[in-house]
Amino acid sequence: MVSLAAPDSPSDDRRAKRNVAVLFLAQGILGAQMPVNFVLGGLAGQLLTPIPCLATLPISLIVLGSMIAAPNVSNLMGRFGRRAGFFAGTAGGALGSTLCAIALFVDSFALFLVGALCTGVYMSAQAFYRFAAADSASDSFRPKAISWVMAGGLVAAVLGPQLVKATSDMLAPVPFVGAYLCVIGLNVVGSLLFLALDAPKPAPRAADAPRGRSIGQLLGTPRILVAMICGMVSYALMNLVMTSTPLAVVGCGFGQGAAADVVMVHVLAMFLPSFFTGGIINRFGVERVIAAGLVILAGAGLAGLAGVELANFYLALFLLGIGWNFSYIGATTMLAGAHSIEERARVQGMNDFCVFGLVTLASLSSGGLMNCLGGDPQTGWAAVNLAMIPFLTLAGGALIWFALRKPEAG
């Protein structure tokens, strides 16, 4: 494993703990916009487009925007510091929500898609909160730093869906506009948090400074490759199922409020284990925690296939959240300990580009499976859950290969 420029002992983690506190709040306050976008994206798309197969396209474009933005946000942080990248993210979130609100007023699906694409810049920046938490953390504190920042999503899990329920009809008869206006406010207020982040601008690189391994060499490193595959699959599966959930819940005879509550339970399950995930990783090892997460994700698929009662939706999305938490935090921890500081921007940008690339594919596939191939909500929901099988096979196979390979030198 390549050593990082981080403290060697927990006593040196004061700076890291301060940053964890800031990023925890950012995850909670700013992160609330993501449940809003994922609950309303498909419903608004269904309202604005006459083509049912395109209903979830706004969510897909959020993720596509994240994929496009990821290497650029990473390079921006590598040159100007974490704070600059996070400010760029809140600017993208505010702009995206403004365009979505206007699109709903003028009944323009095309403009709504542009707003969704801009929102992807925020989603990309938010994904770097976990890496920023690990930057100055010791080896023993790193898993906890990552998981505690992710735990801030608990606030987002409650705040986001409640904003949907409280503000969606605030400007009736035009639906959903009030929620998007609230998201603009979240980005403005949340931006102030980053003024307290202790993440100095990187020093200029000397001409003879080491540049680290190339992208090809990094991808040839088993630990990096497997961490990326598991991170890609866990996030893609979460998005695949969650994208269709509001459409499936409403299509199976339950209301918009029930859809918001199911998503809230899911997001709670995504982040509640984060208070313990870091300690579990330290005790049992990162590979075992990732494996447990993949098994739980498989359980989510089985729960979804078992029926379309409201209880099935709650159970499937609850397991989906826990499985994502274990496998994604595990993959992030595995990746964060596998590269040097000079490789940081390259590795993290490459990783999130690949993660959001597969998530974009999953999101697009989700809408097609739900609205085109399925024919009716029940069949479409079953098709979405069956589509988890090849993803799980890929990640599980990669993890087994990693466990059985010869140990790396050094």
pLDDT digits (tens, 9 = 90+) for 340-364: 777 877 888 888 888 888 888 887 7
User: Region 295-317: what's the mean pLDDT?
Assistant: 95
- Paired tokens of 179: 């929620």
- Paired tokens of 330: 């595990």
What's the pLDDT at 151?
85
Euclidean distance between CA atoms 2 and 217, whole angstroms: 13
Q: Please give the distance of CA 239 from its chain centroid, rounded to a whole number.
A: 8
Mean pLDDT score across all residues of the chain: 86
What's the pLDDT at 103?
95
CA distances from 181 to 29, 62, 203 (A): 15, 17, 38
Q: Which residue reads 């809408």 in tokens?
A: 367
Position 409 confidence tier, pLDDT thresholds 50, 70, 90: very low
What's the pLDDT at 330?
93
Angle at 393 (CA atoms; ends 387, 397), nearest 5 degrees:
165
Which of 282, 248, 286 lies closest to 266, judged by CA?
A: 248
278 has pLDDT over 90: no
Which of 226, 209, 207, 223 lies closest to 339, judged by CA?
A: 223
What's the pLDDT at 4?
41
What's the pLDDT at 29?
93
What's the pLDDT at 259?
86
Q: What percent of the chain has pLDDT over 90?
A: 45
Euclidean distance between CA atoms 82 and 249, whole angstroms: 39
Q: Which amino acid is at 102?
A: I
Surface-to-core class of residue 380, CB atoms within 10 Å of its CB (0-12 exposed, 13-18 middle, 19+ buried): buried
Q: Which amino acid is at 207?
A: A
Euclidean distance between CA atoms 104 and 181, whole angstroms: 12
pLDDT digits (tens, 9 = 90+) for 110-141: 999 999 999 999 999 998 998 888 887 888 88
304 has pLDDT over 90: yes
Size (the chain), residues: 410
What's the pLDDT at 357?
85
Which pTM value belongs to this model? 0.76
What's the pLDDT at 372?
66
Cis-peptide into 173, omega within 30 deg: yes
pLDDT digits (tens, 9 = 90+) for 60-87: 899 889 889 988 998 899 888 899 999 9
What's the pLDDT at 3?
38
As a three-state string, the secondary structure of the chain is CCCCCCCCCHHHCHHHHHHHHHHHHHHHHHHHHHHHHHHHHHHHHHHHCCCHHHCCHHHHHHHHHHHHHHHHHHHHHHHHCHHHHHHHHHHHHHHHHHHHHHHHHHCCHHHHHHHHHHHHHHHHHHHCHHHHHHHCCCCCCHHHHHHHHHHCHHHHHHHHHHHHHHHCCCCCCCCCHHHHHHHHHHHHHHHHHHHHCCCCCCCCCCCCCCCCCCHHHHHCCHHHHHHHHHHHHHHHHHHHHHHHHHHHHHHCCCCHHHHHHHHHHHHHHHHCCHHHHHHHHHHHCHHHHHHHHHHHHHHHHHHHHCCCCHHHHHHHHHHHHHHHHHHHHHHHHHHHCCCCHHHHHHHHHHHHHHHHHHHHHHHHHHHHHHHHHCCCHHHHHHHHHHCHHHHHHHHHHHHHHHHHCCCCCC
Euclidean distance between CA atoms 379 and 371, whole angstroms: 9
pLDDT digits (tens, 9 = 90+) for 174-233: 889 999 999 999 999 999 999 999 877 776 666 666 677 887 888 888 999 999 999 999
Domain boundaries, the chain: 12-200+213-404
What's the pLDDT at 374?
52
Position 391 confidence tier, pLDDT thresholds 50, 70, 90: very high
What's the pLDDT at 376?
82
Euclidean distance between CA atoms 354 and 350, whole angstroms: 6
Instruction: Report the range of poorest mean pLDDT among 1-10, 93-102, 266-275, 399-408.
Output: 1-10
For the domain made up of 12-200+213-404, give the CATH fold. Answer: Growth Hormone; Chain: A; (1.20.1250)
- Paired tokens of 386: 């069956």
User: Region 271-293: what's the mean pLDDT?
Assistant: 91
8 has pLDDT over 60: no
User: Region 6-24: what's the mean pLDDT?
Assistant: 76
